[in-house]
Amino acid sequence: MSNSAPMPFGPLLAYRQWLIRWSAWEFWPLWLTAVPIVGMYLWFALRARHLFFFSNVNPAIPLGGAMGESKRAILDLLPSHVRPATAWVPARLPFDEVLQRMAAAGITFPVVAKPDIGERGFLVKKADTPEALREHLQQYEADFLVQEFLEGPVEAAVMFCRYPDGRFALLSVCLKEFLSVTGDGHSTVADLLARHPRALLQQQRLERARQLGLLDRAVPWQAELGAQADALKQALVSRPDEVPGMLDSWMTETIRHLGLEALC
């Protein structure tokens, strides 16, 4: 038996979830986080005398990628050697043809199905079997991309800009990390999740795992870290003065090596 605090339920859980959501801006409603931006948007629009002044940010993408852009059209701008294997699936395409297109592209399960138009993970689903993929595609009247499922130690969102002289500057790096816990040899998964603020916001998604008894198992001690993510964090912390120039040079070389200038 674990001697750590059990996963909270009822009013206590609801209160802790509320406190976590409102103490970290990243969990606030989208409309609320956009309030400070409205004034800046109006000011820049007035200066530029154009409501869509921001479309210059990504000139190769309609409206600068602000809304309604086609994932397929963006992928077509990329060199083939940096694109994931992708099958184009128009709405209501017979499933036999979906499988044929996947085979032609060299795609095997598991796969990721994404609507051609959509953002913030809208209708994106990982399908481990043909049956799961068929069920997902048949639910929606939309064009989809079916892509190979790629796993890696690090996923990051990178924002950069291009200067008129051809140099590139790295503006930000956002490392994306999956929810995880580190076992101590005696606490159950539920105990460990109870100590993790973000896990408390995922109770509905974890309910199925709870019903299957997966949260009642003790987790062996482990201390594994993503080596690449840890190295990048260490560089940002230990050498902050060197980071901007170092990363800008790396970004310029990387974009030119991959042939991504067409996106800029």
**Residues 110-124 pLDDT 10s:** 999 999 998 878 899
**Residue range 65-106, pLDDT digits in tens:** 778 889 999 898 888 888 899 999 999 999 999 999 999 999
Q: Is the peptide bond before 110 cis (omega within 30 degrees of 0)?
A: yes
pLDDT for 240 beyond 60 = no
Per-residue confidence (pLDDT) for residue 264, from 0 to 100: 61
Instruction: Tell me the average pLDDT across 206-227.
Output: 62
Of how many residues is the chain composed? 264
Q: Which whole-number Å values give the CA distances from 24 to 178, 215, 222, in the listed order? A: 18, 26, 29
* Highest mean pLDDT out of 39-48, 138-147, 239-248: 138-147
Instruction: Tell me the average pLDDT across 34-62.
Output: 86
DSSP 120: T
Which domains are delineated in the chain? Answer: 71-148 (3.30.1490.20), 155-178+224-263 (no CATH)
For the beta sheet containing 111-115, the strands, ordered from the edge strand earlier in sequence to the opposite edge, are 86-89, 144-148, 111-115, 125-127
Q: pLDDT exceeding 90 applies to what percent of the chain?
A: 27
Per-residue confidence (pLDDT) for residue 63, from 0 to 100: 79
State the first-to-last Cα distance of the chain, in angstroms, to the nearest integer: 57
**Judging by beta carbons within 10 Å of its beta carbon (0-12, 13-18, 19+), is residue 87 exposed, middle or buried?**
buried
Beta strands (DSSP E) in 37-181 are 86-89, 111-115, 125-127, 144-148, 155-162, 168-176
**Residue range 2-21, pLDDT digits in tens:** 444 444 556 777 888 888 88
Spatial distance between the Cα atoms of 37 and 26, rounded to a whole number of angstroms: 15
What lies within 8 Å, CB to CB, of 172 at 6+ separation is: 158, 159
Spatial distance between the Cα atoms of 210 and 226, rounded to a whole number of angstroms: 27
Residue type, 170: L
Q: Which of 143, 71, 150, 155 is nearest to 107 (CA)?
A: 150
3-state DSSP call for residue 195?
coil
DSSP 83: S
Per-residue confidence (pLDDT) for residue 247, from 0 to 100: 63
